[in-house]
C-alpha cells in the first residue's frame, strides 16, 4: 500500500520545547484517517508540517512522494483546512472562491459554487459574519475545490455545536464518496471520527501509540471479564492493553488475532472510544517489561 504521508524521526522544536519529537508514521493512501490524541500530542504540528507551513527541526517527512510546501505543484496536491478554519473577515464568500480560482491551477469553480449553493450560503456575505459552522464549510469547500490528492483537516469541528458538527462531517463524507481523495482528520473527540474514519492513528506525546484499519482494530480487540486472575496467566497471544481488578473479578482489554476459546471469560466487543482510551492509558503508565510501541501496526 502506498503512503500519502511518511515520516521518519520527525521532530519540531520551539525554543527548548519539542512540539513533536521522534515521530515515525505511515499514512496509507485512499483512506479517511482519523488522527487522534490528547491535547499537546503534536497533532497540529504534524498537520502543519504535512501542509508545508512548518519546516521540521529534524527527521524527514514525505507527502505524496514530495517535499511539503515545495513549490506550487506540491501545494496544489494538498488541501488544508486549518484549525479554527481561518477566513478573511472582510472578503465575501464569493471573493473567497475567486481567491481560490486565482491561486490554484486545478480549481473547480463549478464544484465550489455548487457546494456553496447546496449549503445555502449567501455568496455576498462577508466571511466575518458567517457562523463557525458556515466558516468551516467555506474552508472545506475551498480545500476541496482545488481538487487535492490529500485533504488535511485540523480539528475542524472542535469549536462547532453538535448540529454544525454533524453537518460538517456529513459534508466531508459526501466529498469522500464523490472524489478520490485521501483524508487526514485530526480530533481529540473520538466520537466525531467513528462515523467518518476507516483508519485510525493514535498519537500520544509524539509517538504513534496505535495505527490501523478501524474494522481490524475492532475485530482484534476484546474485553474479557471473569474470575480474578493474574494477567501473566493469559496466553501469550493475548496482549493486555488495559486491566482492572476487583476483589473477585478481573477485566482485561486484550489484543489478539485468535478467537477466545476459554469458556471462563465473558467476551464483549469494544468500541473505538474504549479502545483509544485504553491505549492512551497504556501510554501514560506502560506496564513494566512491555514495549510501548508494541501496539503499532503499519
Residues that bind other proteins (CB under 8 A): 12, 48, 51-55, 57, 69, 71-73, 75-76, 78-80, 82-84, 86-91, 95, 98-100, 102-106, 139, 142, 146
Pairing of strands 199-204, 32-36: parallel
Q: 135 in helix, strand or coil?
A: helix
What are the grid coordinates assigned to 185, written together? 482528520
Least distance in angstroms from the C-beta of 234 to other proteins: 45
Least distance in angstroms from the C-beta of 195 to other proteins: 26
| Nearer CB in complex with other proteins: 48/187 | 48
What are the grid coordinates assigned to 155, written together? 480539528
* Count of CB atoms situated within 10 Å of the CB of 234: 19
| Nearer CB in complex with other proteins: 41/210 | 41
Q: Report whether 210 contacts 217 (CB < 8 A).
A: yes
| Nearer CB in complex with other proteins: 90/289 | 90
Least distance in angstroms from the C-beta of 256 to other proteins: 42
| Nearer CB in complex with other proteins: 37/52 | 52
Least distance in angstroms from the C-beta of 80 to other proteins: 4
CA 190 to CA 246: how far, in whole Å?
Answer: 28
Q: What are phi and psi of 211, to 5 degrees?
A: -150, 140
CA dihedral 203, 208, 209, 213 (to 10 degrees): 90
Least distance in angstroms from the C-beta of 156 to other proteins: 12
| Nearer CB in complex with other proteins: 83/225 | 83
Amino acid at each position: 500500500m502506498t503512503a500519502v504521508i511518511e515520516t521518519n524521526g520527525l521532530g519540531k522544536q520551539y525554543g527548548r520545547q519539542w512540539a513533536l519529537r521522534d515521530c515515525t508514521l505511515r499514512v496509507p493512501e485512499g483512506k479517511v484517517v482519523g488522527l487522534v490524541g490528547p491535547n499537546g500530542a503534536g497533532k497540529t504540528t504534524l498537520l502543519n508540517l504535512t501542509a508545508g507551513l512548518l519546516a521540521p527541526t529534524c527527521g524527514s517527512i514525505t507527502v505524496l512522494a514530495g517535499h511539503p510546501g515545495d513549490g506550487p505543484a506540491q501545494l496544489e496536491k494538498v488541501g488544508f483546512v486549518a484549525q479554527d478554519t481561518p477566513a478573511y473577515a472582510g472578503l465575501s464568500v464569493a471573493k473567497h472562491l475567486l481567491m481560490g480560482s486565482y491561486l490554484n491551477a486545478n480549481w473547480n469553480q463549478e464544484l465550489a459554487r455548487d457546494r456553496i449553493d447546496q449549503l445555502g450560503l449567501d455568496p455576498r456575505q462577508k466571511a466575518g459574519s458567517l457562523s463557525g459552522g458556515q466558516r468551516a464549510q467555506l474552508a472545506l469547500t475551498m480545500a476541496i475545490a482545488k481538487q487535492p490528492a490529500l485533504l488535511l483537516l485540523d480539528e475542524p469541528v472542535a469549536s462547532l455545536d453538535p448540529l454544525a458538527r454533524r453537518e460538517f462531517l456529513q459534508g466531508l463524507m459526501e466529498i469522500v464518496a464523490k472524489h478520490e481523495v485521501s483524508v487526514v482528520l485530526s480530533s481529540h473527540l473520538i466520537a466525531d471520527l467513528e462515523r467518518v474514519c476507516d483508519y485510525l492513528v493514535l498519537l500520544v506525546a509524539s509517538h504513534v501509540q496505535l495505527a490501523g484499519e478501524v474494522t481490524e482494530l475492532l475485530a482484534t480487540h476484546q474485553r474479557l471479564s471473569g474470575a480474578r486472575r493474574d494477567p501473566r496467566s493469559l496466553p501469550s497471544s493475548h496482549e493486555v492493553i488495559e486491566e482492572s481488578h476487583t476483589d473477585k473479578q478481573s477485566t482485561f482489554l486484550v489484543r489478539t488475532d485468535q478467537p477466545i476459546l476459554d469458556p471462563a471469560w465473558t467476551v464483549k466487543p469494544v468500541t473505538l472510544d474504549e479502545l483509544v482510551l485504553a491505549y492512551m492509558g497504556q501510554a501514560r503508565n506502560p506496564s513494566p517489561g512491555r514495549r510501548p510501541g508494541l501496539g503499532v501496526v503499519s
